[in-house]
């Protein structure tokens, strides 16, 4: 998700409903990873408020780790939902605790991987990030489950679109996908299956360099409302 879900649209559950529907279970097992926020208490409470009544909800803290066998926890889920925050910090902490390996194992086992902002960038090889300050910079050490780059909040922050265009055009980022707030890219394995949206106008884009100039292609989106 470029943006959306319970933390950005608490009165609009369409994207979260869609994620739950992909598990094909009456009460899916959903584990929330709030690492990018520093395991913020309020974020965790918000997750349970949104999910506890309709899913077997759990969360994994890494800054205050209390679970030993985190691999068993995550591989036992239907859905792993990653929150937003500082992407670079999150990836560093994940690697310290072996989550890069565990998340790949979960993905290969068919666990649904979802998230917004940092929780959307992380699955790609690279992307745009505000991890280092208010100005966007390049992130090049994503998990790499999905090829190319990613830019969330494409319509939600004024610098996102022009910065992503410049970074792709000059080769600092490979071609990739941008997603508006309220839009989600749905991958089946590594293939883009569709774009869905919680807002009628939200969508996603393919952005690539053509002779040194960024070329943007709007992708059709299915509005979930």
What integer pLDDT is reported at residue 79 of this predicted model?
98
End-to-end, the C-alpha distance of the chain in Å comes to 16
Instruction: State the CATH class of domain 14-223.
Output: alpha beta
**pLDDT at residue 44 above 90?**
yes
pLDDT band at 63 (very low <50, low <70, confident <90, very high): very high
The answer to whether residue 67 scores a pLDDT higher than 90 is no
Catalytic choice (7, 37, 149, 153) = 153
Residue range 172-185: average pLDDT? 98
Q: Judging by DSSP bridges, how do beta strands 204-210 and 191-197 pair with one another?
A: unpaired
For the chain, domain boundaries: 14-223
Instruction: Please tell me the total number of residues recorded for the chain in this structure.
Output: 225
Has 37 been annotated as catalytic?
no
Q: What is the pLDDT of residues 90-137, one digit of tens each?
A: 999 999 999 999 999 999 999 999 999 999 999 999 999 999 988 899
DSSP 140: -
Distance CA 181, CA 152 (A): 7
* Residue tagged active-site, from 7, 37, 58, 117: 117
Specify the pLDDT at position 109: 97
- Mean pLDDT in the chain? 97
Tell me the pLDDT tens digit for each residue of 13-40: 999 999 999 998 999 999 999 999 999 9
Distances 154 to 42, 100, 129, 182 between C-alpha atoms, Å: 25, 26, 12, 10
Q: Specify whether 153 is catalytic.
A: yes
């Amino acid at each position: 998700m470029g943006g959306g879900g319970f933390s950005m649209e608490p009165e609009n559950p369409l994207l979260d409903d869609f994620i739950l529907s992909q598990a094909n279970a009456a009460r899916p097992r959903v584990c929330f990873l709030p690492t990018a926020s520093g395991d913020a208490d309020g974020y965790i409470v918000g997750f349970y408020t949104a999910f506890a009544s309709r899913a077997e909800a759990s969360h994994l803290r890494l800054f205050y780790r209390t679970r030993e066998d985190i691999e068993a926890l995550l591989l036992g889920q239907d859905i792993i939902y990653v929150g937003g925050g500082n992407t670079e910090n999150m990836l560093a902490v994940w690697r310290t605790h072996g989550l890069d390996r565990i998340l790949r194992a979960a993905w290969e086992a068919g666990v649904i991987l979802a998230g917004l902002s940092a929780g959307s960038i992380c699955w790609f090889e690279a992307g745009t990030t505000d991890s280092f300050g208010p100005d966007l910079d390049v992130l090049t050490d994503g998990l790499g489950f999905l090829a190319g780059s990613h830019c969330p909040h494409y319509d939600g922050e004024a610098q996102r679109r022009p910065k992503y265009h410049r970074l792709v055009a000059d080769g600092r980022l490979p071609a990739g996908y941008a997603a508006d707030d309220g839009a989600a890219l749905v991958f089946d394995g590594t293939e883009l299956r569709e774009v869905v949206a919680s807002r009628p106008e939200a969508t996603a884009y393919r952005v690539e360099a053509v002779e040194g100039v960024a070329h943007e292609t709007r992708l059709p989106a299915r509005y979930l409302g």
